Amino acid sequence: MFKNEGQVVEIPEPKQTARHVLVDSFSRPHNYLRISLSEACNLRCSYCMPSEIMGAADRKKMNADEIVRMAAAFIDLGVTKIRLTGGEPLIRKDAKEIIAGLAALVEQNQAPVRMAITTNGVFVHHFIDDFKRAGIRSVNVSLDSLMPDRFEAITKRNYFHQVVSNIHLLLQHGFTVKVNAVVMKGVNDDELIDFVKWTRDFPLQVRFIEFMPFTGNHWQKEKVFSYSEMLKRIIDSFEIIPLQQQPHDTAKHYKVLGFEGSFAFITTMSTPFCSSCNRLRLTADGKMKNCLFGKDETDLLTPLRAGEDISQLIIQNLMGKHAMLGGQFTPENLPSENHIIENRSMVAIGG
């Protein structure tokens, strides 16, 4: 049992049986769980949040105790990494309680489990000590522009200086910081060089993400600025070297010679990394998704609330995972503007 600010979160006892390994029908092991804490966000980026739901509240979401119990079920099945996402995960009033509850769960577990978080960075200064106590040492921060006016145009909010200040605050406290920038042709593709220059004096990893199609985000093939296009533009300005890939990497890593930080590309649209995918997703309303682009979901929250064992539901969902991109498109056959894939919006998935 974990108590925080008057709230009580039950910490499930770890199962005494041997740990399993979640393997799908394509022999891919899965040990990485992304938990969305909220569909709500204090920013309004159009590529993530459809305009028609910009003012909408969360659907019925998991409470803190249910999130910890969900995580325990996945850990018992072999998950060794948990990333908290959103929406904006830190917008929840009980975010500190959730982080502490998960940390308590991880601490009592015999196998090592790493925790990380992805955030828009606005509230980070309120959570530095909570991250440290929870053992969170890796923080991803979304930032699509280094121009204050453009940041405001993309996000519909004036938080640029707060976000950049918090990125540097994280660095000062020794966190591993990755800056996620969704690159869109004609929107911010002219900032690639400035982002790379940021890594000259700071141990950042800037990750350039290809624009991806989701419900309501006005995706167009013509707006995709591909990995090869981005790499060529950077090579024209810098002498770079490739860095070693790690197992299950979603990014292709590079470094400018002599720079302290590095940069990378997440090449979902042009060069998918599905063959080594090890990720599972849990939405804020308790649905399991086995792929970012998959339309199939399994309700885990209803049976969890009924006191049922959800392990078989997790395994069944995983066995339905497609070989590539949710079975909905391929790099050679991208969705058209008028035929977006069947899925949630990005903000409702959790990235």
State the pLDDT at residue 110: 72
Q: How many CA atoms lie within 13 A of 39 on its CB side?
A: 23
Among 85, 43, 87, residue whose Cα is nearest residue 348: 87
CB 181 within 8 A of CB 210: no
Q: Among 7-21, 105-119, 153-167, whose mean pLDDT is lowest?
A: 7-21
Polymer length in residues for the chain: 351
CB 193 within 8 A of CB 253: no
109-135 pLDDT per residue, tens: 877 999 999 999 999 999 999 999 999
Question: Has residue 16 got a pLDDT over 50?
Answer: no
Residues 6+ apart with CB under 8 A from 178: 138, 139, 140, 141, 204, 205, 206, 207
Question: Has residue 34 got a pLDDT over 70?
Answer: yes
Among 244, 260, 326, residue whose Cα is nearest residue 291: 326
User: What is the pLDDT confidence band of residue 54, given thresholds at 50, 70 and 90?
Assistant: very low
Structure token pair of residue 289? 């998704």
d(CA 195, CA 209): 13
d(CA 185, CA 54): 24
d(CA 200, CA 237): 13
Q: Give pTM, 2 decimals.
A: 0.92
204-250 pLDDT per residue, tens: 999 999 998 887 777 888 899 999 999 999 999 999 999 998 888 89
Question: Has residue 55 got a pLDDT over 90?
Answer: no
d(CA 75, CA 31): 8
State the pLDDT at residue 334: 85
Among 153, 195, 158, residue whose Cα is nearest residue 178: 195
Domains of the chain and any CATH numbers:
2-349 (3.20.20.70)
Question: Has residue 200 got a pLDDT over 70?
Answer: yes
Distance of CA 78 to the CA centre of its chain: 20
**Exposure string (b/e) for 255-290, b if CB count within 10 Å is 16 or more?**
bbeebebbbbbbbbbbebbbeebbbbbbbbbbbbbb
Question: Has residue 320 got a pLDDT over 50?
Answer: yes
Q: Among 174-188, 283-297, 328-342, whose mean pLDDT is lowest?
A: 328-342
φ/ψ of residue 119, rounded to 5: -145, 160
Higher pLDDT: 340 or 83? It is 83
Q: Among 28-42, 123-137, 325-339, whose mean pLDDT is lowest?
A: 325-339
